[in-house]
Amino acid sequence: MTDFPFKAVGFDLDGTLLDTHRDLGEAVNHALTLGGFETVAVNSSKDLIGGGAKLMLARAVELQGDLPEDEFRVLYKKMLAYYSEHNAVYSHPYPHARDVIAELKERGVRVAVVTNKFEEFARSILTQLDFIEPFEAIIGGNTMGKGPDGQFLAKPHPEPLFEARERCGGGAFAFVGDSTYDVKAAKAARMPVVGAAYGYCDRPPHELGADAVIDSLDQLIQALETR
C-alpha cells in the first residue's frame, strides 16, 4: 500500500466524479426560456458541458442565433442565480466514486477537486451530497482569480492544478478528467492524466490525449498504479 506512485490525485467534477448534466441542463433551459429561446433536450446538455457555465450557456444560445453581449451577461447572471438554488436536485456521484476516493485515502493518497465550476457551486453540491469531507482542496473556475487578459485562470490553464498539488502537500500528482480542458491542463502542468470515457467527453475518449482511459471509476486505481 505504500508504493502507490502518486502522493495526490486531482479530479474534475462534472462528468468525472459527479453526473451533473440534468441540473445544468435545467439551469440552461431556465435561462433560455427567460431569454426567449427554445429550450434544449436536457440530455443534450452533456454536449455543452466543458469550460464552465458561461461557455455552456453561450453554446446553447449560439445554436439558435446570437445575443448582444450586455443581454447575454444579464441572462448568464440569471442562470447562475437559478443554479445556485437548484444545483443538487438530480446530481449524484458516478458509480464507484465514493469507494475509489475512500480507497485512495486508505492508501494515504490525498485527493482534490479541480473544476471549472465556480468554487462556491462545487462546494455546495459536494456538501449537499455529503461528499466534501475527503477532499483537501476544492479549486473552482474562479478560485485562482483572473489573469492579465481578464479571464479566469481555469482549465485548460495549468495554474489550478499547480494550486491543487500545493494544497495537497506537493509531490507526485495525477489528474482525472473527461474533457480536452482537463487533458490540456494536465499536459501543460506536466502531470499524468487519466481520461474518463464514461463522462461528457467533448471528443471520442481515446482521442482526448490522456495517458490512460477508463470506462468506469473502479478501473482508476489500477490505471494509476501502472503509470
Is residue 113 within 8 Å of residue 10, measured between CB atoms?
yes
Q: Distance between alpha carbon 152 and the CA centroid of its chain, in Å?
A: 15
Q: Is 12 a catalytic residue?
A: yes
How many angstroms separate the CA atoms of 124 and 83, rounded? 11
The catalytic position among 12, 14, 178, 182 is 12
d(CA 126, CA 196): 19
The answer to whether residues 105 and 129 touch, using CB atoms and an 8 Å cutoff, is no
Cα–Cα distance between 177 and 186 in angstroms, integer?
A: 9
Distance CA 212, CA 205 (A): 10
- Residues 179, 199 contacting (CB under 8 angstroms): yes
Q: Is 132 exposed, middle or buried (0-12, 13-18, 19+ CB in 10 A)?
A: middle
d(CA 181, CA 200): 12
Residues marked as catalytic: 12
